[in-house]
Chain A
Amino acid sequence: MSFREKTAWVTLLAIVGVSLLYWFHVPTLFDPHPGTWVLHAMAVSLLAYLLIECVAWIVLRVKYPQDARTPKDERERLIDLKAIRVAYYVFTACALGGMFVTLHVVGAHIVGLGMVIFMAFVLSQIVKHAARIVYHRRGA
């Protein structure tokens, strides 16, 4: 497994872990009176993700110093671009679909709308890193 694939796994697991905790503890997407704690939970989740990512990066850099110093080559840059393209489509579809459902079908409030867009972003990041892993496994 290449160093870039390892980093993709770390990021994917960190995002999935933190977002699962977040969505299990913030089930108030359509609560008519959301508290500011929703935003606090979002901030805490973001900080937790950054912390996990930083620790994992340090561990990987210490364990594989040579690989960590090596710049990305053309195939790895291509893989990143292809994964970003897939994530872009996922984000656009989820954000637009989620906004339509939230506003026109369910009738949720502005915080709910923000959470839908945040969910679309998180999902697109999960797809992006999963796509990176798949492309690394396939060769390109």
Chain B
Amino acid sequence: MAPTLVTNSIRQLRFAHGEMTQQALGERVGVTRQTINAIEAGKYSPSLEVAFRMAEVFGVRVDEVFHYGKASR
């Protein structure tokens, strides 16, 4: 599988929001903990809908959660 150029700041945002667990984020977004883990690790690029829901949970814009072409981890 080709490595994705989409990086993210989910880990930082989780810790900035009261050390939110992957399980808690997954429940609020509507995906499993394993899916949050895969997204956070850059192994899976989520759909736009999930990306927007994540941004909504953190109260930020989508481009503050996901970045294209630059390393954030």
Contacts and interface: CB of A to CB of B under 8 A. Distances in A.
The secondary structure that dominates the A interface is helix
B43 A138 contact: yes
B31 A75 contact: yes
Contacts of A75: 31-32, 34-35, 38, 44, 46
Nearest to B37: A139
Nearest to B32: A73
Contacts of A2: 32-34
Given A73-B31, A75-B38, A76-B32, A140 B50 contact: no
A139 B1 CA distance: 11
Chain B contact-residue range equals: 10 to 19
B71 to A, nearest CB: 18
Chain A contact-residue range equals: 10 to 19
Contacts of B37: 139
B30 interface: yes
A74 B35 CA distance: 9
A140 B47 contact: no
B61 to A, nearest CB: 21
Contacts of A76: 32, 35
Given A74-B46, A74-B47, A74-B50, A140 B31 contact: no
A109 interface: no
Contact of B30 (A73, A136, A140): A73
A73 B50 CA distance: 10
Contacts of A136: 34
Contact of A70 (B1, B32, B43): B32
Contacts of B24: none
- Those 6 A-B pairs whose CB atoms lie nearest each other, nearest first: A139-B43, A139-B38, A140-B44, A73-B31, A75-B35, A2-B34
Given A73-B32, A136-B34, A139-B37, 17 more contacts: A2-B32, A2-B33, A2-B34, A3-B32, A70-B32, A73-B30, A74-B31, A74-B35, A74-B46, A74-B50, A75-B34, A75-B44, A75-B46, A76-B32, A76-B35, A138-B43, A140-B43
